[in-house]
Chain A
Amino acid sequence: MAPKNRNPAATQSSTQTVPSTPAAAPKPSSSSTKKPGSGGAYDAQDIVLGIWNKYVEKTPQRVKLLDTFMGFLVVVAVLQFLYCIIVGNFPFNAFLSGFSATVGQFVLTASLRIQTNPENKSEFENISHERAFADFVLGSFLLHFFCVNFIN
């Protein structure tokens, strides 16, 4: 990985998904995030906008890349879940391993993001970025090994 550069560069369209990021695991969250928002519509809009601006400004490029990937995973997971609900879960093994692969990959990426995020530097003194990435690769290997094994 290249050395860090804090570049508040232009954002991509996919950043749209970022707010719904944690929705991956507990579904209800996505729906309920709006509820408190609707309480004070103006405030909420302001806040969201504020978050957005701050995010765009402060987040390093690489972290954004990770966020994009996480967003993609969330989309895939939601699609799989919808498919499962609509079409049925016949090869349950397959659905389950696909779904857990996305979820697992998501949390691993999130972990990587947390570990490499300079804001969390104090929490992870012992873990260099390279180490974090190596761990991430190891975790992913394990994850996909299990998934492939489970899918039959």
Chain B
Amino acid sequence: MRSFPLLSSCVAALSSFASAELNHSQPLLSKQVLSGTFTPPQVFKNANLVRTTNLDKSYPRETINVIIENVDSKPQSEYYLPFESSLISNVGGFEAKDKKAPELGNFKVEVVEFDTESTTGFYLIHLPSPLAPKAQRTISITYSLLKSLSPVPAQISQADKQYLQYTFSAYTPSAYVTANQKTKLKFPNVDVPDYTTLPSELNAEKKTDPQRQGSTFTYGPYADIPAGASQPVTVRYESTKPVTHATLLERDIEISHWGGNLATEERYWLTNLGASLKTHFSRVEWQKSQYMNPPTTALKQINIPLAPGVLSPYFVDDIGNVSTSRFRPGARESTLELKPRYPIFGAWNYNFKIGWDAPLSTYLRKISGDSYILKVPFLEGPRMPEGVQYSRVNLRVILPEGATNVKFSTTVPLIDQSTTLHRTFMDTIGRTSLTLSAINLIDDFRDRDLIVTYDYPWTAGFRKPMVITLGMFALLAVVYVVGSVDTSIGKKKNA
């Protein structure tokens, strides 16, 4: 650890040198930074940039508030934000909005195609209105980085504290020149044993970085940082909490007009990404420690808040019901308290399935005639102080058989969507099902809604009774025919 700051400062110096040199010729057009063919045009300048990294939860959440200025001669509306390509696949919940006019909503954001060899990828932010030359605008960008915290040491004893390590660049990555910037780090507590110190020369105010203030560290301010510059910094802090990570969450929402029911089923593939056990799990130690209930890296309990009015919840895994769950219905909120079969320590997995019913009337409204509007949360799932990260969420909304003209809207960034037919329970044509996929979500997305509108003619509701009736009739007819045939043979025989 001792050599770490030295090494990192060396790297930093080198990289800053390299980028400075690059900057002379042509901004951001160097092989080291971008081997792809694409470069964002240098039309903006970051007048002032403040980045806040929040490490409270088990993943870093970053907020970048930046005043951008158009330095081009024409109005511009496309702002790029670079990420290392290893990082970009872990960026989740990327959103940008106008800091001064949040009512405008989120800007349109997309990941720019980058070729596979490139080490840099970009998020492209489309400003709702082009920014005039010389004009300024304050935008606020938030995102979180999944799987970017690593436990150091990677193996600890059962009762040890866990330390997480986070590596980032002290200079906020940017595709443009940044006139003034600083980075604030918020740690969950003051136990930060290792961190990179940066020499005071780099700092605009000639202070040695970082500046500590309780559990908050500040790097910067730094003046006039060229595009693409980076200054690696590593911090290691105590966080004896599970790093809950869902590799996959499958969510099925099924609507039944007949039953007036909205059935939800969620299937989780959970892993604890925290430090694994150095020796094996010791039940004695665990049982003894349970009296004191100290902080632990093991995930002992999962609390899932549900909407009020939820009925008949269940909690099962691959081999059956897990009896250690409790359901607390409430007027404002019901809670499903799940206790996994065993405490989930670092590197342990746990797959399970939960589900519940809810009255449909709270979610579905008839707009006009045959069309309906459905409003459901895009993501429910655990609410825990340490947070949960989801690598991939597949949401499937199964509409009644015969629903047409399906439209949806949500503020959650999606990567895939499709409408298919799902056949179940004596369907003839199959139910219309809307499948939506999102990657890299975090539990902050819990309160985002999904709004689906669809047409469902009342005649479609009678399809199934009709089919069943016809089926029964057909069966009876067949039985009758077969029966009569049989007797005729019998008669022949008897004759």
Contacts and interface: CB of A to CB of B under 8 A. Distances in A.
A and B touch in the complex (CB under 8 A): yes
Interface residues of A, number: 4
B423 to A, nearest CB: 35
Contacts of B494: 128
A29 to B, nearest CB: 36
A34 interface: no
A49 interface: no
A130 B494 CA distance: 8
A128 B493 CA distance: 7
A134 to B, nearest CB: 7
A131 interface: yes
A99 to B, nearest CB: 33
- Do most interface residues of chain B lie in helix, strand or loop, or is the interface mixed? helix
Interface string A96-140: 000000000000000000000000000000001011001000000
Nearest to A130: B493
A95 to B, nearest CB: 38
B280 interface: no
B492 interface: yes
Interface in B138-163: none
Contacts of A134: 493
Contacts of A130: 492-493
Interface string B467-495: 00000000000000000000000001110
Contacts of A131: 493
A108 to B, nearest CB: 18
A7 B236 CA distance: 111
A128 B490 CA distance: 11
A25 B301 CA distance: 73
A91 B493 CA distance: 42
B490 to A, nearest CB: 9
Contacts of B492: 130
Contacts of B493: 128, 130-131, 134
A131 B493 CA distance: 6
A131 B494 CA distance: 8
A131 B490 CA distance: 9
A137 to B, nearest CB: 12
A134 B492 CA distance: 12
A133 to B, nearest CB: 9
B491 to A, nearest CB: 11
B89 to A, nearest CB: 55
A130 B491 CA distance: 11
Interface string B88-103: 0000000000000000
A134 B490 CA distance: 11
Interface string B119-136: 000000000000000000
Nearest to B490: A131
B485 to A, nearest CB: 14
A142 B492 CA distance: 23
A36 B492 CA distance: 48
A130 B492 CA distance: 8
A4 to B, nearest CB: 15
B487 to A, nearest CB: 14
Interface in B437-495: 492-494
Interface string A22-39: 000000000000000000
A134 B493 CA distance: 9
A14 to B, nearest CB: 31
A128 B492 CA distance: 10
A146 to B, nearest CB: 25
Nearest to A127: B493
Nearest to B489: A134
A55 B493 CA distance: 29
Nearest to B494: A128
A129 to B, nearest CB: 9
A130 B495 CA distance: 9
A123 B494 CA distance: 17
B410 to A, nearest CB: 58
Nearest to A129: B493
A130 B490 CA distance: 10
6 contacts: A128-B493, A128-B494, A130-B492, A130-B493, A131-B493, A134-B493
Interface of B: 492-494
Instruction: Give the 5 A-B residue pairs with the shortest CB-CB distance, closest first.
Output: A130-B493, A131-B493, A128-B493, A128-B494, A134-B493
